[in-house]
Structure formats: C-alpha cells, structure tokens
Chains A and B, each alone.
Chain A
C-alpha cells in the first residue's frame, strides 16, 4: 500500500517558544514532500481531530506527530488505520535545551527527519494467528499444580494435570499439620490437601493423569505438541500453555554429615520427623524409646549456606511446627531449637511467640560444633557461640536437621522441551527458573511456560496455592495472546515478529544461539533459521545478532535504523558541532532522558537519539554506518547486565557488550579511535547524573577530535 504521510508539528508545552516550527514544516514539505503538514498549539487537545480527519478524509496512513514523548498521550494518539511515529520535541528538545539556539533547532530538525524516515520505512505487522489451543498443561500434582489446574478449569480453560506418582497431593499429602494461617496465628492447622485432591479429581474440565510423565513438548504457546507417557503408552495432546509445578526435594543431608547424619540413626531430617509425626511414631529411631529431649538444628550457620539458600523462611516455620508436635505428643519432653537468626516474617511472628511461651521449648542461638553418641544411646550436641558465652553440651535423644527445599531442576527435569536450546527452563545462579523475579516473577525464559510452587522458590502451602493460581493466570494470558498472534510480556500486544531473508543467510546459527527465549530453531541438516512465532518476545536480539543483517520485523529493521542515521544532517568539520548517535534502550534509558527533560536538566545538543527495543537489538553495522556517515561518536545506553541484570530481555545488554568487539574492529578499519563507541549503563532513575555523563562523553569525543570522514 502506498504511504501517505501526514506530519503534525505541535507548538505546545514550550516547543513553539523553543524551536522554529516553520523550519520544521519546511523540512517535512520540501525535503520529504510529505502529503500534508500541519501545526497546532496543542495536538493532544481538540486538534487531534485534524489528524483524524486527514486519516479519514484524505487517506493519510502514516502519521508523524512531533510533540511530546511517545511515553505520554499514548491513548490520545492511538490512531487506528494509520501507523503512528512520535518525534519527541518536548522532553528531549524543548525541555532540555536552550530555546532559540541554532544547535537546538538542528536537533529538532534531525529528530523530525528521523521520525519521517521511520514512518516511511515502517509497515503494519501481520499477526500470526494459527495457534489457538485453549488447554493448559500442568506438570506436577502437588498443591501448586492442583491449584493451577483448578484455576484454569474454573476460569473456563481446560486443564491436563500430569503427575509422576500414582496419586495427587505432592509433599502436602505427607504433612501431619501445617503452620497457622488464620488469626490469632498461633495454632497448627490441617493441611487441607484431601479436599483439594477431591475437587481436582471431580472437576469435569480437568483431565488427571497420574503415574504419567511428559516425554516431550514441542511447538509454541497456543500450540504446544505434548507427548505423555503413562503405563508404557504414549499419548499426544495439544496445549496452549504450560505450568511447571514439579516441586522440590529435600536437601541432601549427607552433606550435613558433620552433624552426625548417617552416623547415628537418631540424627534425622525434618522430612523424616514429619513422617514420624504423621505415622504417630515420635520415638527414638535407634531403640524405639520415647523421646525426652530433642534438638532441632536450623543449619543456618556459616558453612551451611548451601542448605540455607533453600530454606527461605519455610524451614524455620517447620522447625517451630516440629517443636510443637513433640511437645503435644510428649508433654514431658524438652525441645532445643538451635538457630542463628529466627526467620518468622509477618504474622508468623505470633506463632514464634506462642512457641516461645512454652517453657518446654528452649531457643539457643548458636552453631553446632560437634555431635557425638552418648553412653545412653542418645546424642551429645555441642553448641558454641551462644550469647550466654562458652559452649553448651546438650544430651538429646533425637537431633532434627532442618534441611532446605531444593527445587526440582527445572533446566533438565519435567518439561523435556524439544527445543534447540535445551530441555528445560534456564535457571539463575541459585538454581531457580530465571526471571525478573521482583516485578515479573512468572516470566521464565520459555514463553508460555510458567513455573509455580517450590520449583520456583521455597514456599509454604499458602504461598504454593497462590503461586499455582498466579501461574495459571499467566498461562491463560499466553493462550489469549497467542491466539491473537500477540506477544506476551514485556512487549505485550506486539504483533510483529522476525522474518529472515534466507537467500543471504550464512547459516551461522548465531540468532538461534543468542535468542534468550529459545524462539529460533534451525532446519535440521540445512541449518537455516526459522522463528517459532509465539515463543518470540519481539526484542530484536536476533536482529542485532545477525552478522549479515537478514533478520527484520515489519516495523523494525536494520535498514530503518540505518536510514534514520543517514537522515541526520552532519555539519562539516565544525569543532563546536560534533554529532553523537545515541541508541537508547526504550525501556529504561529513554525514559531516563525524558525524566531529565521533565526536571529541565540540560542535555548536550549534539546527541541524536534513536530508541531501540533492547540494546541487544543493536547490530554492529548500525555503529559502522554512523561512523561512515560522519558521526563522531556512538553511545549505547542500556541496562545493567550480570547477576543482577536489569534487562527486560534478560540477555540483551550482555550480548551487546560482546558485539562491541565488532564495533571496535570496524573503528580500526576506518582508522578511528576505539573510544568513539561506548556502552553506558543507564538506570531509569539515573536521570540526575545523565547530563554530566553525556556531556563528559561529548567532551571526550571533542578531545580525540572530530571524525575525519565527514563529507564523504
């Protein structure tokens, strides 16, 4: 379809006082000969009508609005039946540069040129809508998994629940009691898992497959092709999304041998104690004698980190629960709880208080030095570092080790994904499914697959049930969005996806390796890439990765960015007017630039900012183009990488850093200094330091001198 461009230059909010609007109008009309150019004192108010009329009556189908930041008035300027490009003349020009200055005007002129070029190059995406399965596959039949299946079924989405063991219930079915959930938060409660099992089994929209395992999962959100093995038979089903609720295993207590585990039968884990309580045998394992004194060791001292990281607060609560079990069953018994710092957050403090009130439970802060057998068949536990000073020797019948809850390895177990990048969910350095776990805890690195319950992190029954619900919600969302061909978080609703110009593909496979979400597969033997559309998060990292630039989106391409770079007017050899290309992550760096403007902080006028979906979508050729074009420097503004990464796409900024090698090579080839291209971590709240940091970069470029290739 032929492009009919309309350019709308707003003069409101100080833009009109800062730059010459007529100059901008002439650029649009004369340099680009767009179909229509209009101005208004405020396009966001009544005058948005002018734009709408041009679309409806004049057939304008590509709109460029040169006004405020694209981050504001999104709803006002959401214009159906036209593509909309925003040119940020307010926050990043008028509010952050001196009015009436020649360089400010140049900045506005270039911003408009880039916006028009972008509008010329963009195409409305055609969504992929061929994956519509509305069933959720839930793997794991514990509390999290059952709650997820019920959540889906109650919300009119069918569920298939696959449980490895012969019956539902998971670890919860092995509990005697659970910690207090209701005010006054003092008394143990029934686990309540039987009712949950009954409801799950009875729900007509849940297909329960016990004694079954997932053999493979192929495909994508909206259409996962799942094969399930049960009783030696393999059946195939289709699912729209997956909840992984495979739970946990007790921390391997053989690593706690120093506390006597494995040496004496009277040293048991908290899992064993739970079993003893449930089966009614709270006696000394060695001889069946009634227990008189019990020590519960929290295993949270130094040297216990491997165990403690899997505790969260759960194992502390379990220890308090176990102290209560023993005191209820054996009223004469004494219980020592040995701990470093008691982790009873929130209302659980009341439960801790209740246990503290019991004179038969003694809390001892310290660490255990040694555990030895005593003559009477019991144990001597030597505690040190107690606040009372000196060592304490406790003669006990039973020592309970509070072992942590290790997540079932989600990178290798449970899912068996038939993905080039591997079978499971990539994990963080702590072994839990990797995600932006504070703000978006369910977004794993496998689109449409959400982890819930203790496979995600250690949690109690209440939290596991909440987690099951939450993951089921995400699964329903994935079903809804993928059937419309729309991306899920974080580019939710995006209909674009990458396509490949395969004639020029070198089959290097880098796109498929670098995609953080495993969305790109290779045709077997031929090695040509293809995108599995609904796995894609639309970040553009593949586009940045491709060494021959054959990957593009309908509305985001290397050519588009290159053309925007070419649209910038480069002053000839004027020391006072360097030009710096800024490729800014639109998630954090770009808003930080806006916030500098909102605070009326002054930014260098030599910057030409192009927002990118993720720094990872920056292709090295973009920097090369800029330098060939005569830019003096290239600045890449993005998020922090590393263990505490802030990248919305997990790996984007990290991958970009590796591509900088290519950029520096290019600089070498062009006989330019390597420091002309730099990556800068910019946090969204780091706007206050941004002007100085940017000015320093500009000064450093001036110090090395301008790009001698200007004018070529």
Chain B
C-alpha cells in the first residue's frame, strides 16, 4: 500500500562535535543519509581544543582523525559548517529544517596553501585558543581543521576594501562578496548534539578571573599545554611568560553552586587531575594543588586518580576557596581556602590558578523552539522532546567523551527507528 505521508530517510545532526560526528558516521555506515550542521568553520567541536583525554592521556586528534577519514570515505555524510538551524517543523519522518549558513568567503577551491595568510594585514583574537594570541583575519582554525579550508572572520576583515588575499590566492578560492544563505532540508529525524560552552568564569566574583592575568580556566590550560596552542605547548604564566612552578586547581568553579550552575559538570575533577599531569610532565619541580568538594572519579577512573595522586608533587585538599589575592608586583596569587579535613584555613601562594569552570549548555537562549524541551539549565530533556527529536552528548547533560560517543551511537539508532517506523506508516 503506498504511504499516504511523505517520509524521508535523512537524519539531521545539529552540532559537529564528538557526539554529533559519532551520530553521523555511525548512522551513515548503517546506510542512512546524514546532514551535520555545525556552527564553527570546522568539525570536531570542543574535543579539538583539548590536549589529551583522561584516563588514557591520549590525544583527541587521534579519534578525530579516524572519524574524519570515515566522513571522507562516506558519501552519505554531508555537512555544513558556519551553519545554524533556524527552525525545525514537522513530524517524525517528515521534518522541515531551515538552516542559515554564514559566508566563509573561501570556496571549495581552497587548497590550504597558506599564501593568503602571508599578505593579510589584519589580526584577530584567536578564539580557538580562548583569546590567547591572534590569527590573521583569514586563517586556518587549527592544523586538523576539517574541512581543511581557510576562513575569513568578517568581524575583523575589511573585505573588499582590502582584498590583498584575493590577489595572493592562485586558485581563485576567495570570494569577499559571499553572502549568508538560508536553505531548507527535509529529514526524517533530528539529533541535537549541540554540546557545551565553558561557564563564564568572570561571573564568579571571588576567584579573580578577568581581574588577575594568572587566573585561567581549565579550557585555557588545555590550550596552553597543546603543541598547537598559543605557547606551543609550554605552560607559561600569562602575566610574564615564565614557566609555572606551582598551580592551584579550584574545582566546582561555578558548578554545584546555586548561584551559578546547580548541577555537577561531571568531568572537571578528572580534567584537573589530567591537567596536573601536563604541568608535572613539563616541570620536574612543579607542584600542583587541587581544592575540591568531592573528588568525582567514579569506577575505573579511580585508578587514574590514584596514578596521578601517587605523584608527591600533586596534592588534593577538600575545601572551598574563599578568595584569591594577587601580589601586584610579582603577580603571584595567594589562595585562601578552608581545608575541611584539616579543619583549618589554608593559604597557598602560587604562580597560576586554574579554575575548573563547568560546562554550560550551548542551547542557552536557543531558538530551536517547537519539539525541543529544555530543562531549566537548557539541557535537552530527551524523552520529553517531540517524537523523532533526540539528543546526544552534552546537549543532554555534561558528560565525558566515552559517554558522548555512547549517546551519539545510541541516538543514531533512535533516529533510524523513527525513519523506519514512519516509512511503514
């Protein structure tokens, strides 16, 4: 019997981070068409900015590389970078999705030869490095950027008024007149894998972020340690570029706090322990101190915790940091905390303070609207959202990579189920 309702076999994946990429390649390798819509000019999401994963201390690029190879080989995966979903309408098996793609100003002819960068006169803050350092207005977001195509930041570029890069490009790959375009896609199911953003540490009054240069966040620490980061992998004090001899890690900076994020961001304890190893690997005399409420290293992650803490120069203290004071001359930071187990006040003076800022939902203030139910923290309430709309990874709740890949794979099947059920209706 012919189906009375049109149904589509495509799956829309919103977000091209590790959860979204996983959803896309897993669904495509099972035989389904997938469209990834990614806000950034590259796929890879937050994990591309991490130096290493816990607990194996292995590079995230390794997993991204193989996933990108899978995408390159798999014609069923199509993706749009610099793109955002405006709205999702319709029903399972038959969703209409409207997408707006911002101009890259660089077309598919780009060979990534880098000639444009040499002539570009404009600098912009490097957002991949959380504002540490600059790139030119035309730039490659990072070494492993996929697609490996340059992009122009139109907030910085003078576009047709300058156009030096157009002349420099031998391949006619730059088009400064490119305009945003809005288009629609018909799909059978939707997976939201919109991920997370670091909680704005400047909102935490007592911890000095934004006021003291040597107070940084955990994501900045990842960039400082990464070989392709602003310091080429050397962990240096932002104030004077000197190697860091001592650092305090402050857990729950914004998380588990009713004034900020009420929930636990799940990964920060392990992330700080991991970042302590970055410091220790670089400097045999460096000391790391971690202030925490509960050290959340569940299950076999406990072994990772034990391994890191077996290092004499890494110590942990249960307690909340009351305040941080900067020495205006040396820019050293004095951290005052209550040591709960020692039942006394502790003060430590160190070179660097790393705030374990939590993971906030990227859907805060989202306009996706109908069919997507968010909780008060803007995470997707999976089974309360409309039929045929699913979520994976940090769109659901703050999770580690292993959980994001689990949920991404699961979401791929849930989307396929929707499509198959709609097709039989």
Contacts and interface: CB of A to CB of B under 8 A. Distances in A.
A338 to B, nearest CB: 14
B264 A344 contact: yes
Contact of B256 (A305, A349, A488): A349
Nearest to A474: B409
B1 interface: no
A595 B113 contact: no
Given A349-B262, A438-B53, A588-B65, A493 B406 contact: no
A627 interface: no
A348 interface: yes
A155 B413 contact: yes
Given A45-B109, A687-B227, A439 B63 contact: yes
Contacts of B387: none
A441 B413 contact: no
A674 B75 CA distance: 47
Contacts of B263: 346-347, 349-350
What range describes how many residues of A lie at the interface?
35 or more
Given A311-B299, A350-B262, A473 B233 contact: no
A45 B65 contact: no
Contact of A182 (B27, B56, B384, B403): B384
Interface stretch (A20-28, A67-75, A537-545, A556-564): A67-75
B73 interface: yes
A587 B294 contact: no
| Interface of A: prevailing SS | loop
Given A437-B402, A470-B413, A685 B59 contact: yes
A192 B328 CA distance: 60
A555 B145 CA distance: 30
A14 B59 contact: no
Q: Is the interface of B mostly helix, strand, loop or mixed?
A: loop
B153 to A, nearest CB: 20
Nearest to A42: B171
A646 B58 contact: yes
Contacts of A476: 30, 413, 416
B118 to A, nearest CB: 11
B375 A183 contact: yes
Contact of B413 (A151, A490, A648): A151
A434 interface: no
B263 to A, nearest CB: 5
Contacts of A644: 55-58
A166 interface: no
Interface string B338-351: 00110100000000
B412 interface: yes
A634 to B, nearest CB: 24
Interface in B152-204: 170-171
Given A13-B113, A387-B341, A430-B300, A438 B226 contact: no
Interface in B40-88: 51, 53, 55-63, 65-67, 69-70, 72-75
B94 interface: no
B218 interface: no
Interface stretch (B121-129, B283-291, B393-401): B393-401
B303 A72 contact: no
B326 interface: no
User: Which of A343, A344, A436 has the most B CB atoms < 10 Å from its CB?
Assistant: A343
Interface string A684-712: 11111100000000000000000000000
Given A151-B413, A588-B62, A438 B73 contact: no
Interface in A176-192: 181-185
Interface of A: 12-14, 41-42, 44-45, 68, 71-72, 74-75, 151, 154-156, 181-185, 305, 308-313, 316, 341-350, 353, 387, 389, 430, 432, 436-442, 457-458, 463, 466-467, 469-470, 472-474, 476-477, 480-481, 488-490, 492-493, 587-588, 591, 595, 598-599, 640, 644, 646, 648, 683-689
Interface of B: 18, 26-27, 29-31, 51, 53, 55-63, 65-67, 69-70, 72-75, 109, 111-113, 143-144, 148, 170-171, 226-228, 232-233, 256, 262-266, 294-300, 302-303, 318, 340-341, 343, 375-377, 379, 381, 383-384, 397-399, 401-403, 405-407, 409-410, 412-414, 416-417, 420-421
